[in-house]
Amino acid sequence: MQGSSSQLLIYGLVIAGFLLFNYFMQRMSRRAQEQERAQAREAASPQPEDEPLEDIWSRRTSVAAPPEPMPVHVLAPAPDAEAPADAPRKAHRSAAARRLFRTRRDLRRAVVMMTVLGPCRALEPPGRH
């Protein structure tokens, strides 16, 4: 019994050692990445050291007036197109649609089927998949 408990203790210490090693390696890699990012930021935005700060701010002496807005031309709305008087009006669904979708439940099933199946792949250009 004494040997098995010491073995468990050794296994536990080995596992704890691996976990601590992994933790410290991750922290060191994060610090290295943060230092690289900071160096990249400093390299991306160099500060001019030749000119003093006062010269930079005093360059702009006058404020330019904003340009005048361009005139807006308003277009008249298009006249409403009216259907010819002799054109038949579709008051109801077509006969084919009535045969396919007899109830709202049939229509709901059709919408679910279209959603599941997706668009037709025959319409896609060749070589895409």
pLDDT tens across 42-92, in order? 877 655 555 555 555 555 555 567 777 777 776 666 666 665 666 555 555
Q: Is residue 82 part of a domain?
A: no
Task: Output b/e per residue, 84-123; b: 16+ Cβ within 10 A.
Answer: eeeeeeeeeeeeeeeeebeeeeeeeeeeeeeeeeeeeeee
Number of domains making up the chain:
1
pLDDT in tens, 19-46: 999 999 999 999 999 999 988 888 776 5
- 51 lies in a domain? no
Q: Which domain covers residue 29, as residue numbers?
A: 2-44
**Average pLDDT score, the chain:** 76
Q: Is residue 40 part of a domain?
A: yes
Q: Helix or strand or coil: residue 126?
A: coil
pTM over 0.85: no
Burial of 79 (0-12, 13-18, 19+ CB in 10 A): exposed
